[in-house]
Amino acid sequence: MNHEINRLILYSDLGEDEILRRVADVFEGLEKGKDQAELRSRLLWQGKRILDLATAYGFDENLWQNYLTFLMIGHVHSFALTCEGRGAGDGSINAIAEADFGVFRRLFHYDFSALESALDTDLLTRLSAYRAIPKGENIYNRDVSERVRELSRAIAAASSDRQVFDLMVDHYRRFGAGFFGLNRAFRVKETAEGIRFEPISNVDHVVLSDLIGYELQKKALRENVEAFVAGRAFNNMLLYGDAGTGKSTSVKAVMNEYWRQGLRVIEINKYQFGLLSQVISQIKARNYRFMLFLDDLSFEEDEAEYKYLKAVIEGGLETRPRNVMICATSNRRHLIKETWKDRADMEHDGDVHRSDTMEEKLSLAARFGCTISYFSPDRKLFESIVRALAERHPEIRMDEKALLAAASRWELRHGGLSSRTAQQFIDDLAGKSAAEQEQSEP
């Protein structure tokens, strides 16, 4: 097995702790006559890692082949980037890629019988005919699971290295290189080696039609995002207004509606703003449209992180990439806390100019060309939201008059009129209604 792995070029930089390399080391150890009990322990540990991966991603059937497929599509290399969104050309790199994919095709059908016999285990054979226990739909990312299993079956059935090459080129063309192609949302994590993007597997599958009302807001949001994913001129977005009105939900909704058109969302926390330049440098050349999502954004007087954001949005030496959009949600229109002192520099400091401090703070919000306001619904809209949400729960059998009366009592005790309050009321009511029905059943 090490002989095959050492032939890899595009995948030659696999880490030493990669499962494939660790399994190959067990083969090598057996050839060198090392202690079989230790080798068995090392092999079983790698089997456990494959099982853990299968559980995390919902793999099934041949877990060894699922793992190899996951490794192939998750590794970003020069050929994958060349094919991203457009397929392969006629370059010399094609032959190198085909040879690497040929190695994986042989690894797909590797004979483990001699190794298992020597180490008195049938673990890898069991993993090649695995039947998973059904899991809930929110346990793993179905987009990744289904694509890996589909591609794994196709590679296993390929009769030539060229067929595997064609399958991988088609994957890169349709989904891109690495896990940007298979996931729609990511977080940024700082490591000793630099930053990395961690997929968010359990995403909320809400769409804009799930948000009741706010038609003008949804229209403005769609128009700007559609221009962005189509490669036309667009503006950075600021969604501001009252709490619980659907600002973050709107961002999740456009992510779900446009991710198949190349939209990817990267969530960045305020304390990570110093990493923004690194984030953009890693994504600016990719064939996707990246929305950097800054949720619930606001700054206090003594916080200076907003200056990193200002420099990224506009004002630095480097032009902002056309495949990167900044999208922030906030309860504050101007994002940064203002004080009356900011408006009275003449009184405090004898400044003859209008407050420079205030201008400095307001300049951040001014750099969002698309500002969309979300305000709390009036009573009529709130009741419309309650009725619409209740219709999605057949277990709620309350008549409309009683439903709205209960909703009115709920909002008085739970933060007033808002979409969030309506959703919380319906969730509470649906849970209680379901429990009552279960108790009444014989």
Record the tokens describing residue 144, joined without a space. Answer: 């990744």
Residue 346 pLDDT > 50, yes or no? no
Q: 0.85 exceeded by the pTM?
A: no
Euclidean distance between CA atoms 187 and 266, whole angstroms = 6
HSE of 284 in the Cβ direction (CA atoms, 13 Å)? 12
Helix (H) or strand (E) holding 371: strand 370-374
HSE of 66 in the Cβ direction (CA atoms, 13 Å)? 30
If one counts every other C-beta atom within 10 angstroms of the C-beta of residue 27, the result is 20
Q: What is the mean pLDDT of residues 370-390?
A: 90
Residue 177 pLDDT > 90, yes or no? no
The distance in angstroms from the start CA to the end CA of the chain is 60
β pairing state of 185-191 and 263-267? parallel
- pLDDT tens for residues 41-61? 999 999 999 999 998 888 888
Euclidean distance between CA atoms 127 and 15, whole angstroms = 23
pLDDT band at 340 (very low <50, low <70, confident <90, very high): very low
425 or 350, greater pLDDT: 425
Record the tokens describing residue 272, joined without a space. Answer: 């990570």
| pLDDT of the residue at 37 | 93
**Among 130, 18, 161, 143, CA closest to 65:** 130
β pairing state of 194-199 and 185-191? antiparallel
| pLDDT of the residue at 393 | 87
Record the tokens describing residue 199, joined without a space. Answer: 């997929």
> How many angstroms separate the Cα of 427 from the Cα of each of 210, 390, 395, 407, 417?
15, 9, 11, 12, 16
**Among 193, 200, 147, 197, CA closest to 170:** 147
**Among 253, 420, 244, 238, CA closest to 329:** 238
| pLDDT of the residue at 296 | 82
User: Would you tell me the crossing angle of helices 379-391 and 400-413 to the nearest 10 degrees?
Assistant: 120
Euclidean distance between CA atoms 378 and 69, whole angstroms = 52
CATH of domain 208-374: 3.40.50.300
Euclidean distance between CA atoms 100 and 8, whole angstroms = 5
Helix (H) or strand (E) holding 433: helix 419-440
Averaged confidence pLDDT in the chain: 85
| pLDDT of the residue at 137 | 52
Euclidean distance between CA atoms 400 and 398, whole angstroms = 6
Residue boundaries of the structural domains of the chain = 2-180, 208-374, 379-440
- pLDDT tens for residues 1-16? 888 999 999 999 998 9
DSSP state letters, 280-295? HHHHTTSSSEEEEEET
